[in-house]
Amino acid sequence: MRRIGIVDTTFARYDMGSTAEDELRKMGTGFKIIRRTVPGVKDLPVAAKKLIEEEGCDIVIALGMPGPKPIDKQCAHEASQGLIMAQLLTNTHIIEVFVHEDEAKDEKELAWLADRRAREHAQNAYWLLFKPEKLRKMAGTGQRQGFEDVGPIEGKSGMRH
Ligand SMILES: Cc1nc2c(=O)[nH]c(=O)nc-2n(C[C@H](O)[C@H](O)[C@H](O)CO)c1C
């Protein structure tokens, strides 16, 4: 049975891990979910790598909420680099789901955004693992996770493959 890892943080102000788990369970069956929680975003890379190498996860969803201060942004950037490194070291996708606290105008919108982004990236992870052709069909369509999709722009060729 395929295994999907979910790792989230206690720093986050919304339970994005449980949201991602709920969305995955709506998507289908035939996989096992393995959950871990770490203090903050910089702790996500090693937790994700351990989920892949020690728990046999085929894909991992890593969720975190960088705060609004410059030091938080720096931490988030460092965490991102760690997540990319962990992906390259393990040859396995780790879907980074970061919701920056200052992306939303108030707490209500932040909760809505965290929920939507966690769900839409859980769908991406499911499709990457089980239905890659679904993503292939969505190539170049301006998808966004959380806020509205921006849609495609017209090109010279008008080709769609
Ligand atoms: C400054 C800071 N900002 C954030 C943040 O915005 N979001 C977050 O999830 N974690 C933050 N942390 C904590 C670090 O990611 C990490 O948990 C600690 O440095 C312990 O390794 C720190 C230290």
SS3 of residue 8 by DSSP? strand
The CA 104 to ligand 1 mean position distance, Å, reads 20
CATH number at residue 16: 3.40.50.960
- Please say whether the beta carbons of 51 and 92 come within 8 A: no
Which atom belonging to ligand 1 lies closest to the Cα atom of 44? 15
Domain membership flag for residue 46? yes
What confidence score (pLDDT) does residue 149 get?
85
Minimal-distance CA residue to ligand 1 atom 13: 40
Query: Measured from the CB, is residue 41 less than 6 Å from ligand 1?
Result: yes
Quote the pLDDT of residue 56.
98
- Identify the residue whose C-alpha is closest to ligand 1 atom 9: 40
- Which pLDDT belongs to residue 158? 59
**By alpha-carbon position, which residue is closest to atom 17 of ligand 1?**
40
Q: Are 21 and 48 in contact (CB under 8 A)?
A: no
> How many domains is the chain built from?
1
Query: Going by CA atoms, what residue is nearest to atom 4 of ligand 1?
Result: 72
Contacts of 33 (CB under 8 A, 6+ apart): 3, 4, 5, 6, 21, 24, 25
**Looking at the domain assignment, is residue 7 inside a domain?**
yes
Q: Which helix (H) or strand (E) holds 92?
A: none
- Ligand 1 mean position, distance from CA 9 (Å): 9
Is 53 domain-assigned? yes
ipTM beyond cut 0.90: yes
Its domain, for residue 109, covers: 2-137
- Mapped onto helix, strand or coil, the DSSP state of residue 36 is strand
Show pLDDT as tens, one digit a residue, over the chain (161 residues).
999 999 999 999 999 999 999 999 999 999 999 999 999 999 999 999 999 999 999 999 999 999 999 999 999 999 999 999 999 999 999 999 999 999 999 999 999 999 999 999 999 999 999 999 999 999 899 988 888 888 999 887 656 55
Diameter of the chain measured on Cα atoms: 48
Which candidate, 54, 7, 2, places its Cα nearest to that of 29? 2
Say if 126 falls within a structural domain: yes
155 belongs to a structural domain: no
Residue 152 belongs to some domain of the structure: no
Q: What whole-number distance in Å separates Cα of residue 65 and Cα of residue 55? A: 25
Evaluate whether residue 12 is within a structural domain.
yes
| Residue 67 Cβ contacting ligand 1 at under 6 Å | yes
Residue 9 Cβ inside 6 Å of ligand 1? The answer reads yes
Q: Is residue 160 part of a domain?
A: no
